[in-house]
Amino acid sequence: MAIEKRDPVTGRVTTGHEWNGIEELETPIPRVVFFFLAVTTLFAVVYWVLMPAWPVGVTYTRGLLGIDQREVVMRQVEDAAVLRAAWTDRVGAAGFEEIMADATLMQHVRDTGRTLFIDNCAACHGTRGTGGPGFPNLAAGAWLWGGDPETLAETIRVGINSTSDETRVSQMLAFGRDGVLGREEVRSVAAYVRSLSDLPLGEADRGRIEAGKEIFAANCVACHGEDAKGSTDAGAPDLTDAAWIYGSDAQTVFTSIYSGRQGHMPHWEGRLSPVDIKLLALYVGTLGEDAR
Amino acid sequence: MISRLTVSERHLALFVLGALALAGLAMAVGGRGDPLAVHGVIVLAASLGLGFLVLSALFSPEPGESRLAEYYDDPTKAGIVLSLAWAVVGMFFGVWVAALLAWPELTFVDSAWASFGRIRPVHTSGVIFGFGGNALIATSFHVLQRTCRARLPDQFSPWFVLIGYNLFCVIAASGYLMGMTQSKEYAEPEWYADIWLVIVWVVYFLIYIRTLARRKEPHIYVANWYYMAFILVVAVLHIVNNLALPVSFGHAKSYSLFSGVQDAMTQWWYGHNAVAFFLTAGFLGMMYYYLPKRAERPIFSYRLSIISFWGITFMYMWAGAHHLHYTALPQWVQTLGMTFSVVLLVPSWASAGNALATLNGAWHKVRDDATLRFMMVAAVFYGLSTFEGSFMAIRAVNSLSHYTDWTVGHVHAGALGWVAMITFGSLYALVPWMWKQERMYSPKLIEVHFWLALAGTVVYVFAMWNSGIIQGLMWRTYNDSGTLAYSFIDSLVAMHPYYIARAFGGLLFLTGAVVCSYNVWMTIRMARVARVPAKGDVPLYGAAQAGE
């Protein structure tokens, strides 16, 4: 522990202490450190003077610029709303026909509808509205309740089997489980239903079609209609087309009839504004455009 | 190891373990039907198991006075092993959660414990508290004794701290898997675990004070200032942020004493200072010892050490509010958080610069010695991430970066690049000293580990920078209709490739940790064969001289 010890590499003096072999040099603090300390401190002080900064009793220094983040954001939201109102007001006031005839408005509908749809609906219906097992394809043009914009807006507003008082209600009965039809009868009517959309049937199923047709006439027409083309009053799907909510394979169709089905679509009134619902109804209407 | 405790220390250990067993029993009985009971059983089993160990050596002869002529390093050795075990576990969970974000179906088992929300804190606590905390405890005991030239004051309390701390970590991690959490980030463990940690921490602090009081050096070395700041401030933070009222003494659940924006502010005052005093101060302590030791160079500037120490300690305390920019937190608090964060850059860079300048005259060693290179890269990443941190604390920048992966990238630049690298470097230096070997089992594997760790960190950080900035921009882009141009799902789709890259980077880092553990394990095995005692590595002040 010599008092004046020099480091051979730098030629600097050490502080004279040593801890288990570690020494420290008496290097003065580099100027640049003080420089940056001064610059950052100056920045801080200027910022304090201009912006809300220090607490003083029950209040605080408001800063010379008089900026308040809450006011700023409120103003920004208002400004944005005013800008948007240029077209949203027209969407709110105009009828569906009128909007659909207006190409610029429809462009806004597509732009805005896409984000609204993906943020709120895609979890169930998919980002392009093409659905999945249990969730209908909204781009297929095969509607349960109807595909005109007024009806779509109503469906979105009240939902299907939702918790809204006004909800649309629909149910596919559990014919097999509730004992209305026996297993063999369910198999027959399933074969008949699948024959309606020309699905490939096995030998045994082909022999069941006739019996199934009779069972269908006796049990199913009330909801699905004489021609099995569905009913928008009951929210019952068209069974003759290529669109299936739950699936078209023999097992799934059997399950639909044997155990019944009841899809749940949430209601959006109160969660989305009337204009947003209108936008979504129009947007959902455009989903099939690419497909068609 | 138990026979190295004195007989009275063994009695004390039995007494403490008995009390702990009773506490475990009370928790198990009082918490029937609550997850608390599971923890009671864990505590009970741990204390009975340890009690059995102590009993088995209870009547071994009193250890000789010769022990006092050596530093007491058994707890440090155990801490090193525990630290690496936690590193592998914690990083494995990290890679798993990273993979979950890229491929959400990778839960393997379809049960609640494997869900993202539960295994994520296992990762964060595993690496920060398990890996980092054990490394800090282990190295602090080592550094403390060497820089004071005094033996630890007794042999029981270091074990109490080390084992007690790991018991806390186990309770924390197992609690998360059962769904127990206070929902405060990095302060998830419930009230009883928190109380236990306070007890452990007080003993830890006392060890420090008592050893310092016995020191044979006129001055207290810088590393010890940092370790002390770490211990002291973490205690304060931990106690304040965890003030809570349990539903009942038979329930694990508790409710915080704070609510609303006060709660948020307390939490981030805690959270940011955990970064400051756990992940920065503690590891700076490590750096200030192992880096000059390994480089065999004096510290570049004593004065710089002083101003950066006080700069960091003073400035960090204010910075927490930058985690709450543009929230319900009053703007003036945000201003203070932001401005102090900016000034904080100066002492941070002064520390990093002090470390790098210490390497002057030893750069050839940095080139040849992967151990020293670990420490050098750590100092560089410390500088990078503190710059990034101050930058992100600026409100305008934060409005882009907040809530995005940029934050995650920033944290990992610090956690992987700084904390883990300095730890690995220090452990590679320390392990041969502890097990009395000339060098690690395989210097080549250290080299391999270095490149794995560096590549992993770089891949990770770049992936998250890209991902975060893209995310931030997508969330704020409007189209001509005045609508957000992208939906949230759009931004997720854009993230996917980066999430895969991040999981890959993490995997590289984990592989490095496994290589390190293997290397350490083999070094320990080497030690069984031959010991090469280091010269002069003995205390001037043994325990007996203290009259304790």
The per-residue pLDDT for B33 is 86
- Do the chains contact at B298 and A7, CB–CB below 8 Å? yes
Report the chain A residue with the minimal C-alpha distance to residue B218: A17
The per-residue pLDDT for A290 is 64
Residues A8 and A79 occupy one common structural domain = no
- A275 domain-assigned: yes
The per-residue pLDDT for B532 is 64
Higher pLDDT, B347 or B106: B347
pLDDT confidence of B110, banded at 50, 70, 90?
Answer: confident
- Residue B284's nearest CA partner among B222, B341, B362, B220 is B222
Residues B94 and B43 occupy one common structural domain = no
CB nearest to A44's CB, from B332, B342, B361: B342
pLDDT confidence of A3, banded at 50, 70, 90?
Answer: low
Contact list, B146 vs chain A (CB under 8 Å): 19-20
pLDDT confidence of A1, banded at 50, 70, 90?
Answer: very low
- B161 has pLDDT over 70: yes
CATH of the domain at A277: 1.10.760.10
Residues B28 and B109 occupy one common structural domain = no
Phi, psi of A172 (to 5 degrees): -95, 120
> Which burial class, exposed, middle or buried, applies to B203 when counting CB atoms under 10 A from its CB (0-12, 13-18, 19+)?
middle
- A255 domain-assigned: yes
- A2 has pLDDT over 70: no
- B219 domain-assigned: yes
Residues A163 and A79 occupy one common structural domain = yes
Residues A78 and A146 occupy one common structural domain = yes
Residues B196 and B322 occupy one common structural domain = yes
- What digits encode the pLDDT tens for the residues B194-204? 999 999 999 99
In B158-238 the beta strands, taken as DSSP E runs, fall at none
Residues B14 and B149 occupy one common structural domain = no
Residues A162 and A100 occupy one common structural domain = yes
Residues B227 and B271 occupy one common structural domain = yes
- What digits encode the pLDDT tens for the residues A72-88? 999 999 999 999 999 99
- What digits encode the pLDDT tens for the residues B403-451? 999 999 999 999 999 999 999 999 999 999 999 999 999 999 999 999 9
Residues A23 and A154 occupy one common structural domain = no
Residues B41 and B93 occupy one common structural domain = no
Q: Which of B341, B481, B488 is the best mutation test for A, with the most CBs of A within 10 A?
A: B481
What is the C-alpha to C-alpha distance for residues B512 and B445, in angstroms, rounded to an integer? Answer: 9
Contact list, A35 vs chain B (CB under 8 Å): none
pLDDT confidence of B248, banded at 50, 70, 90?
Answer: very high
- B531 has pLDDT over 80: no
**For chain B, how many structural domains are there in total?**
2
The per-residue pLDDT for B99 is 96
CB nearest to B302's CB, from A24, A107, A116: A24
Residues B97 and B27 occupy one common structural domain = no
B369 Cβ contact partners less than 8 Å away, ≥ 6 residues apart: B294
- B369 domain-assigned: yes
What is the C-alpha to C-alpha distance for residues A111 and A108, in angstroms, rounded to an integer? Answer: 5
- B67 domain-assigned: no
- What digits encode the pLDDT tens for the residues B171-191? 999 999 999 999 999 999 999
The whole-number average pLDDT for the span A34-61 is: 97
Residues A123 and A105 occupy one common structural domain = yes
Give CA torsion, residues B281, B285, B287, B288, to 10 deg. 120
- What digits encode the pLDDT tens for the residues A127-142? 999 999 999 999 999 9
CB B91 within 8 A of CB B509: yes
Residues A75 and A160 occupy one common structural domain = yes
Average pLDDT, chain A: 94
The per-residue pLDDT for B533 is 61
A155 Cβ contact partners less than 8 Å away, ≥ 6 residues apart: A145, A146, A168, A265
- A123 has pLDDT over 50: yes
Among A27, A45, A67, identify where a domain stops. A67
- A41 domain-assigned: yes
Residues A46 and A117 occupy one common structural domain = no
The per-residue pLDDT for A291 is 54
The per-residue pLDDT for B66 is 87
Residues A40 and A11 occupy one common structural domain = yes
Domain extent for B48: 1-58
Among B58, B81, B105, identify where a domain stops. B58
CB B134 within 8 A of CB B79: yes
pLDDT confidence of B528, banded at 50, 70, 90?
Answer: confident
- A149 domain-assigned: yes
What residues of chain B, 250 to 289, have a C-beta less than 8 Å from chain A?
Answer: 289
What is the C-alpha to C-alpha distance for residues B491 and B470, in angstroms, rounded to an integer? Answer: 8
Residues B89 and B128 occupy one common structural domain = yes
> Which burial class, exposed, middle or buried, applies to A178 when counting CB atoms under 10 A from its CB (0-12, 13-18, 19+)?
exposed
What is the C-alpha to C-alpha distance for residues B128 and B126, in angstroms, rounded to an integer? Answer: 6
Residues A156 and A95 occupy one common structural domain = yes
- A20 has pLDDT over 70: yes
What is the C-alpha to C-alpha distance for residues B60 and A242, in angstroms, rounded to an integer? Answer: 84
- B170 has pLDDT over 80: yes
Whether B497 has its CB under 8 Å from any CB of chain A: the answer is: no
The kind and range of the H/E element at A59 are strand A59-60
Average pLDDT, chain B: 95
Among A33, A52, A67, identify where a domain stops. A67
What is the C-alpha to C-alpha distance for residues B431 and B434, in angstroms, rounded to an integer? Answer: 5
Residues B321 and B223 occupy one common structural domain = yes
- A109 domain-assigned: yes
CB atoms closer than 10 angstroms to residue A25: 26
Residues A103 and A76 occupy one common structural domain = yes
- What digits encode the pLDDT tens for the residues B59-74? 999 988 888 999 999 9
Whether B142 has its CB under 8 Å from any CB of chain A: the answer is: no
Residues A77 and A208 occupy one common structural domain = no
CATH of the domain at B392: 1.20.210.10
Distances in Å between the Cα of B391 and the Cα atoms of B334, B387, B473, B482 are 14, 6, 17, 30
CB nearest to B487's CB, from A24, A52, A119: A119
The per-residue pLDDT for A10 is 87
Report the chain B residue with the minimal C-alpha distance to residue A46: B339
- B387 domain-assigned: yes
Contact list, B345 vs chain A (CB under 8 Å): 36, 40
Report the chain A residue with the minimal C-alpha distance to residue B485: A115
- Do the chains contact at B343 and A17, CB–CB below 8 Å? no
**For chain A, how many structural domains are there in total?**
3
- A155 domain-assigned: yes
Share of chain B above pLDDT 90, in %: 92
The whole-number average pLDDT for the span B101-130 is: 93
CB nearest to B335's CB, from A15, A47, A83: A47
Whether B307 has its CB under 8 Å from any CB of chain A: the answer is: yes
**Model pTM score:** 0.90
Q: How far is CA B309 from the centre of its chain?
A: 19
Contact list, A29 vs chain B (CB under 8 Å): 301, 303-304, 307, 350
pLDDT confidence of B546, banded at 50, 70, 90?
Answer: very low
Query: Mind spelling out the 3-state secondary structure of B310-379?
Result: HHHHHHHHHHHHHHHCCCCCCHHHHHHHHHHHHHHHHHHHHHHHHHHHHCCCCHHHHHHCHHHHHHHHHH
- What residue has token string 């580099």? A30
pLDDT confidence of B542, banded at 50, 70, 90?
Answer: low
> Which burial class, exposed, middle or buried, applies to B217 when counting CB atoms under 10 A from its CB (0-12, 13-18, 19+)?
buried
- A169 has pLDDT over 80: yes
- A97 domain-assigned: yes
- B541 has pLDDT over 80: no
Residues B44 and B76 occupy one common structural domain = no
- A174 domain-assigned: no
What is the C-alpha to C-alpha distance for residues B16 and B100, in angstroms, rounded to an integer? Answer: 42
Among B58, B82, B104, identify where a domain stops. B58
Whether B292 has its CB under 8 Å from any CB of chain A: the answer is: yes
ipTM: 0.90
Domain extent for A97: 71-167+265-286
Residues B31 and B107 occupy one common structural domain = no
The per-residue pLDDT for A244 is 96
Residues B178 and B46 occupy one common structural domain = no
Distance from CA of A118 to the nearest CA of B (A): 6
Contact list, A71 vs chain B (CB under 8 Å): none
- Do the chains contact at B217 and A60, CB–CB below 8 Å? no
- Residue B121's nearest CA partner among B80, B202, B179 is B179
The kind and range of the H/E element at B142 are helix B134-148
